[in-house]
Amino acid sequence: MARTAGKNAADWPLRWDLLLRYRLIEVIALWEGRLTTNHLQRAFGIGRQQASKDINHYLAEYAPGNLDYDRSLKGYKPASTFKPVFTRGVADEYLQMMHAREDLSCAFETLDVRELNTEVLLPPSRDLRPSVLRPILQACRDNLRVEIQYASLSNPEPEYRVIQPHTVVHSGMRWHVRAWCEKNSDYRDFVLSRIQDEPELTLPGEHHAEQDDAWQERLTLQVTPDPRLSPAQQAVIALDYGMTDGALTIECRAAMANYIVQLLRLDGPQHRDPEAQQVVLANRDEVKGWLWGTN
């Protein structure tokens, strides 16, 4: 989040409710092209007067000239000189807002928070229970070892393990925890929905994130259009992914590279139709030492 010129830390709003309102102002104005007090009213359950005050305060104190009032739209639109202050100005921020609305609509059927003409397809929820996540997070915070009963595809019968977790991760499809495994004497990923019982916190551990080589190592993945596509088709894919000079550069932790490969379906171009594959990992030889099944 960028600070406006002339603002120091003492002037910066720290209240979460204000930060969220200002973020919504920017996201709605930038991506939908029309902001009204009704957007704030519906999102935060506030009155029209308070919503108007929030918009005016945003413009007066943090982003002068960012919005223009358009009488024909009966709302605000982004000015030609619009510059994000509370957001990065990327489409993922709009997607996150749509996800939040979809989650609320699913949980509270009578709550009207969806906007017209937008809908989000949510992936199926995995069976992650609070009784599992709470102690795992506490172990991460306090550097504790944890006893779990765990089932995996290689060992489908649940067995007791002792792990020391350091970071909970969502891979885009499921939750897992990065942890030292005492059975294998190595850092591993444990899928949280496969923990059978309630984790039991035990003694302090000696293995931390700083010692996890795959967690500390940084990789660069070079993603390019599938070379089997025609030049015109490759140009379409490059535009679709926002590639620069025909490549998309993704920086990540080595421990996370496999999940990016899976999400982008970069793990089998030789078997999949090029129009279905679309993109490939161009520097596979450079990073294959960190990928599953390629050593």
Q: Which domains does the chain have, with CATH numbers?
A: 16-107 (1.10.10), 130-213 (2.30.30), 217-290 (no CATH)
For residue 108, pLDDT over 50 is answered with: no
Q: What's the pLDDT score for residue 101?
A: 65
% of the chain beyond a pLDDT of 90: 66
Tell me: the pLDDT tens digits for 239-251? Answer: 999 999 999 999 9
Query: Which has more confidence, 99 or 140?
Result: 140
For residue 287, pLDDT over 80 is answered with: yes
Total Cβ atoms within 10 A of residue 14? 8
- Its pTM stands at 0.74
What's the mean pLDDT in 157-165?
A: 95
Distance (Å, whole) CA 120 – CA 111: 16
What's the mean pLDDT in 20-43?
A: 91
Q: What's the pLDDT score for residue 267?
A: 81
Q: What's the pLDDT score for residue 110?
A: 44
Total Cβ atoms within 10 A of residue 19? 14
* 90-to-26, 66, 94, 101, 108 alpha-carbon distances in Å: 11, 16, 8, 18, 28
What's the mean pLDDT in 219-234?
A: 96
Q: Which of 37-46, 123-132, 133-142, 180-189 has the lowest mean pLDDT?
A: 123-132
For residue 31, pLDDT over 50 is answered with: yes
Q: What's the pLDDT score for residue 3?
A: 46
Q: What's the pLDDT score for residue 130?
A: 87
113: its two tokens: 């928070």
User: Which residues 6+ apart lie within 8 Å of 201 measured at CB?
Assistant: 135, 138, 139, 144, 145, 146
Q: What is the mean pLDDT of the chain?
A: 87
What's the mean pLDDT in 161-167?
A: 97
End-to-end CA distance of the chain: 40
For residue 163, pLDDT over 90 is answered with: yes
For residue 1, pLDDT over 50 is answered with: no
For residue 6, pLDDT over 60 is answered with: no
Q: What's the pLDDT score for residue 16?
A: 84
**Sheet with 175-181: strands ordered across:** 186-191, 175-181, 159-170, 144-150, 200-204
- Categorize the per-residue pLDDT at 96 as very low, low, confident or very high, splitting at 50, 70 and 90: confident
Helix (H, G, I), strand (E, B) or coil at 187: strand
Q: Which of 53-67, 84-98, 172-186, 231-245 has the lowest mean pLDDT?
A: 84-98
Gyration radius of the chain over CA positions: 24
Tell me: the pLDDT tens digits for 38-72? Answer: 989 988 889 999 999 999 999 999 999 999 999 99
Q: What's the pLDDT score for residue 12?
A: 53
